[in-house]
Amino acid sequence: MLIKLGYNETKWKDGIKDVFFWNTAKVPHILISGITGGGKTVLSQMLVNPLLASRVDIAICDYKAGGDWNGIIPNYAEFTKCEEVLNEFYNSFIESVESKVYKEKYLVFDEFSSYALSKDTKEFKELMSKISHIAFMGRSFGYHLIFISQQFNAKVLDTAIREQFGIKIYMGSTISTESATMLFPNCEINKSLHLPSCCGYISTPEKNIDIIRIPYIKEPDKLKKLLVQKGQAYFA
């Protein structure tokens, strides 16, 4: 599946609409990070919109329970109930591996970092074992991870797991040294640069770093309502 993520900001300034696509068959997982108000939620919802339209299997966890994802699909959880949905997704993945059956399934997890850091040492190791398993083998069986958080540091996802997320996006006008190092290692980023509104940094398998622009949504609530309508129509 090809999912439009946004536009190349450099070419946009020259009047050229050069689109960044997520080819889910080639790149199974995506990380979306950024500052509050930077646009990561809008980008994430725009990404889920075509998934609903394609009627693929989606599960959504929102650890922060901020009201951005509730009411869209039945397979949804907030805060402590995220554990159940995550385990269901992982168990389905294990069944696919054991039976060698390909399924097209997506797990959207908002504020994954906060969820991971809420675990004690034993629980965290168990969580990372599951995530690592899906991250490394998910592509072969159609299982995709869409993780959203303000930041992804080494305490949350180690380098080996982060490298399995072939597309990484950071939305916001500025980026911290820690986020730049974690998401875009070996890339030169001018952290004193202030990006325009609705822009951020993106790395893809084709290019280490670029600037992405997403459409300006004047009324974000309408985008959420659109997702609810599509979800209700599909799961009716």
**Beta carbons of 89 and 128 less than 8 angstroms apart:** no
Task: List, for residues 180-191, the tens digit of each pLDDT value.
Answer: 999 998 888 988
CB-based contacts of 98, cutoff 8 Å, min separation 6: none
Give the pLDDT of residue 233.
78
Tell me, letter by letter, the H, E, C secondary structure of 10-62: HHHCCCCCCEEEEECCCCCCEEEEECCCCCHHHHHHHHHHHHHHCCCEEEEEE
pLDDT at 16: 83
Average pLDDT score over the chain = 93
Q: What angle separates helix 40-53 from helix 220-235, to the nearest 10 degrees?
A: 30
pLDDT tens, position by position, 81-134: 999 999 999 999 999 999 999 999 999 999 999 999 999 999 999 999 999 999
- At 160, the pLDDT band (50, 70, 90 cuts) reads very high
For residues 179 and 15, the answer to whether their CB atoms sit within 8 Å is no
Domains observed in the chain: 2-235 (3.40.50.300)
Residue 158: pLDDT above 70?
Answer: yes
